[in-house]
């Protein structure tokens, strides 16, 4: 068989005591005992070259310019002295400390927020956040806190709270995230820079379909209703209010019609005068960056528009240049990769800051004087991340701060002279360095985490590049069974997601793998993961290959991965399994039933699967598929109800009964149709779990996953085709 893979490199992880993993350890200790050590609360002190972190309950202060200078500060007793003087409860441990400037910081003690001046120990109470507060949003200067409580939006100021808005009826929501957390939205309140005004979302979802969630413990059983906007159906309506703390008045931005539009990426101008909103039409192929008067709500103008024959998806609000009330950075995929563009409030593009056939993956920020900015970019194969700096106004090019392959994140000092480089690679669990921006080759390592898995038995990890049927290289990761013998035949498990906004294979610690995969490797199973077209950080063309046909390009790419596995002399081609959750559940079911995948996989597990995109939410689905009315052929081809007759292997479907992302209805209907067609299928429900099975129950989930694949991939071990 012609080789379709190019082996890039492999990384054997040295074994020491060869301690086996239990599945419980793999799940519960992956973010604790088996996670790389770190410098806790690492941050710069504003205005200079000093930075701090916490170790052993004390604050450690270092100076980037003076490597020999460091102080260990036992501040907990001093903090408690200040609290005691005010009759406040003592701290039992050093809290998270947040620097205002070189002389002042703030911290929380339970529900209370205090400021503290280390020089003289002056402690001042600022704000009390009520115990029932949710969606808390603290202004970083005033320390006032916006929050929601029941159906109200309030602001905590000192000992008191101020009512901003209260729901007028069922389906009216204030101050919470909207548009199903799409478009980078993760909250519903937006403080003005001065803290004198608060912008907030008002969502009317009274017209949106209600969906019942089963409440288990009531007698008799009850239900709670959630609003769920199905693709092609009615969507909620959103407006943006602005509350003036001085006058106690609220105005609303005049965002106009149609009501079914998306108000995304809300941001303020530095002078509190204007609010910018990226308005996206329901078809998600047209964006208007609009400017509104924050005092009256009046529409001022459209700064610019973006359109696409597929989709536009703004995910980052404007970032104003420090010292300017007019100039800002905007992120856009307009040239095929996410890049940075400098604009002003006249709507003029001053220049493009970043370039290249790789996306900006994080805009880190500006120096305090606004002359320089920092950002992170992927490389052209998507595996690595490097941090760059550029002057904001002169077009003097962009400059990379690191050279070592791997994943770099940067924490620049406020003056822009220094960067703390947070780094990992397949051979480096975590490393933190100080980099002088003008001479990055003078990088100095200040912390190296020991290998937390040095005594754990792990399989060898290999990175592989495959040629997609779409003509682009695909990144994949193969974990070989522990004690690997190339003369033996092993079963293989394909773990799949392959949906938007997710990348699973990187040049990071464990290459982005999870410890449960190494537990499977200990059981004699090779574990394979491939990021096919549609997945993240490879550019717009790669990611939008799924447009109007979810499942087609992804299945083709995953089958490329399966063919690669079958070409390996040590993989038993008759013993392949597949497992995925959410979009991965859609993919796992597709790979078990679509005709082009017939006979490839012996068994599969589909968790929380999308079965039919007509039953999924508007914001996500219509971006990638258009509406069912506009794209009936695409929806019909992607519907997994149409392929049940092709199910031959063992399929286990798993769902949380309270899932409000991929509704329980998906898998229940699928099971019903399997029964009607006489197709055997395994099914398991996690009562009252949401879209993901979390907590200690997650151990139960992965023990079930392990047992299923042991039963179906290892049962006839020793039998050779």
Q: What is the 3-state secondary structure (H, E, C) of 657-714?
A: CCCCCCCCHHHHHHHHHHHHCCCCCEEEEECCCCCCCCCCHHHHHHHHHHHHHHHHHC
**Tally of CB atoms within 10 A around 479:** 27
- Catalytic positions: 582, 659, 691
Q: How far apart are CA 433 and CA 446, in angstroms?
A: 5
Crossing angle of helices 697-713/515-522, nearest 10°?
A: 40
Bridge partners, 527 (sequence order): 479, 493
Closest CA to 10 of 457, 453, 459, 461: 461
Q: In what order do the strands lie in the sheet with 339-344?
A: 319-320, 327-332, 339-344, 349-352
Q: Which two tokens stand for residue 414?
A: 């406020």
3-class DSSP state for residue 640?
helix
Q: Which residues of 502-517 are buried (b: 16+ CB within 10 A; e: fewer)?
A: ebbbbbbbbbbbbbbb
Residue 442's alpha-carbon distances to 67, 168, 386, 405, in angstroms, are 12, 61, 17, 17
Bridge partners, 5 (sequence order): 466
Q: How far apart are CA 143 and CA 195, in angstroms?
A: 9
Tell me the backbone φ, ψ of residue 571, rounded to 5 degrees.
-105, 130
Q: Which two tokens stand for residue 608?
A: 């929380």
Closest CA to 663 of 234, 231, 238: 231
CB–CB of 29/39 below 8 Å?
A: no
Q: Which positions ≥6 away from 224 have C-beta within 8 Å? A: 212, 213, 215
Where does 167-221 show beta strands of DSSP type E?
A: 172-174, 189-191, 197-204, 210-215
Residue 472's alpha-carbon distances to 49, 338, 433, 516, 552, in angstroms, are 44, 18, 35, 30, 15
**Dihedral angle computed from the Cα positions of residues 579, 583, 587 and 588, in that order, rounded to the nearest 10 degrees:** 20
Closest CA to 419 of 42, 57, 694, 696: 42
Distance of CA 63 to the CA centre of its chain: 33
Q: How far apart are CA 127 and CA 111, in angstroms?
A: 8
Residue 133's alpha-carbon distances to 110, 136, 138, 148, in angstroms, are 12, 7, 12, 6
Closest CA to 451 of 29, 33, 2: 33
Q: How far apart are CA 573 and CA 491, in angstroms?
A: 8
Q: Which two tokens stand for residue 242?
A: 């602005």
Q: How far apart are CA 415 and CA 499, in angstroms?
A: 39
Q: How far apart are CA 541 and CA 550, in angstroms?
A: 15
Cα angle for residues 255, 257, 260 (degrees, 5° grid): 100
Q: What sign does the dihedral 485-488-493-495 (CA atoms) show?
A: positive
């Amino acid at each position: 068989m012609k080789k379709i893979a190019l082996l890039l490199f492999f990384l054997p992880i040295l074994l020491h005591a060869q301690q086996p993993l239990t599945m419980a350890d793999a799940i519960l200790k992956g973010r604790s005992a088996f996670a790389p050590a770190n410098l806790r609360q690492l941050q710069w002190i504003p205005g200079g070259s000093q930075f701090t972190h916490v170790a052993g309950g004390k604050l450690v202060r270092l100076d980037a310019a003076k490597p020999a200078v460091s102080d260990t500060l036992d501040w907990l007793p001093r903090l408690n002295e200040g609290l005691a003087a005010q009759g406040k409860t003592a701290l039992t441990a050093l809290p998270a400390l947040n620097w205002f400037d070189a002389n002042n910081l703030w911290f929380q003690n339970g529900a209370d927020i205090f400021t503290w001046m280390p020089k003289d120990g002056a402690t001042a109470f600022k704000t009390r956040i009520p115990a029932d507060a949710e969606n808390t949003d603290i202004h970083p200067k005033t320390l006032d806190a916006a929050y929601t409580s029941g159906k109200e939006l309030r602001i905590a100021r000192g000992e008191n709270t101020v009512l901003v808005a209260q729901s007028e009826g069922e389906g009216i929501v204030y101050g919470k995230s909207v548009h199903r957390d799409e478009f980078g939205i993760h909250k519903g309140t937006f403080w003005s820079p001065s803290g004198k005004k608060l912008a907030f979302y008002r969502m009317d979802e009274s017209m949106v379909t209600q969906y019942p969630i089963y409440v288990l413990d009531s007698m008799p059983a009850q239900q709670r209703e959630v609003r769920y906007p199905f693709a092609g159906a009615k969507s909620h309506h959103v407006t943006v209010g602005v509350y003036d703390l001085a006058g106690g008045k609220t105005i609303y931005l005049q965002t106009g019609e149609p009501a079914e539009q998306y108000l995304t990426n809300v941001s303020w101008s530095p002078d509190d005068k204007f609010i910018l909103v990226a308005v996206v039409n329901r078809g998600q192929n047209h964006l208007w960056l609009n400017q509104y008067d924050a005092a009256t709500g009046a529409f001022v103008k459209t700064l610019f528009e973006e359109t696409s024959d597929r989709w536009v998806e703004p995910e980052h609000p404007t970032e104003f240049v420090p010292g300017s009330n007019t100039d800002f950075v905007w992120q856009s995929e307009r040239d095929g990769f996410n890049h940075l563009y400098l604009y002003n409030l006249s709507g003029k593009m001053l220049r493009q800051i970043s370039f290249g056939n790789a996306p900006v993956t994080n805009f880190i920020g500006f120096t305090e004087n606004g002359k320089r900015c920092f950002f992170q970019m992927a490389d052209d194969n998507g595996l690595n991340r490097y941090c760059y700096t550029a002057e904001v106004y002169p077009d003097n090019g962009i400059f990379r701060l690191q050279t070592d392959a791997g994943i770099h994140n940067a924490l620049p000092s406020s003056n822009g002279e220094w960067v703390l480089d947070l780094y990992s690679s397949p051979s480096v669990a975590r490393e933190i360095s100080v980099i002088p921006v003008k001479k990055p080759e003078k990088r100095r390592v200040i912390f190296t985490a020991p290998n937390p898995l040095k005594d754990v038995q792990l399989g060898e990890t290999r990175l592989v590049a495959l040629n997609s049927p779409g003509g682009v290289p695909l990144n994949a990761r193969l974990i070989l069974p522990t004690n690997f013998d190339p003369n033996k035949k092993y079963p293989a498990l394909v773990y799949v997601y392959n949906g938007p906004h997710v990348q699973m294979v990187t040049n990071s610690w464990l290459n982005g793998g999870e410890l449960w995969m190494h537990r499977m490797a200990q059981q004699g199973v090779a574990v394979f993961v491939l990021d096919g077209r549609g997945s993240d950080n490879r550019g717009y063309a790669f990611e939008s290959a799924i447009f109007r046909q979810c499942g087609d390009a992804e299945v083709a790419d995953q089958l490329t991965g399966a063919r690669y596995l079958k070409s390996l002399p040590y993989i038993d081609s008759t013993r392949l399994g597949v497992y995925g959750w959410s979009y991965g559940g859609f993919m796992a079911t597709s790979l078990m039933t679509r005709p082009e995948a017939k006979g490839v996989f012996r068994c599969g597990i589909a968790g929380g699967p999308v079965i039919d995109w007509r039953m999924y939410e508007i914001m996500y689905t219509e971006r990638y598929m258009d509406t069912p009315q506009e794209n009936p052929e695409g929806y019909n081809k992607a519907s997994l109800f149409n392929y049940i007759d092709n199910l031959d292997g063992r399929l286990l479907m798993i769902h949380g009964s309270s899932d409000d992302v991929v509704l329980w209805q998906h898998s229940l209907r699928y099971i019903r149709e399997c029964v009607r067609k006489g197709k055997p299928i395994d099914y398991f429900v996690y009562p009252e779990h949401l879209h993901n099975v979390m907590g200690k129950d997650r151990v139960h989930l992965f023990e079930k996953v392990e047992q299923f694949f042991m039963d179906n991939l290892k049962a006839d071990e020793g039998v050779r085709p």
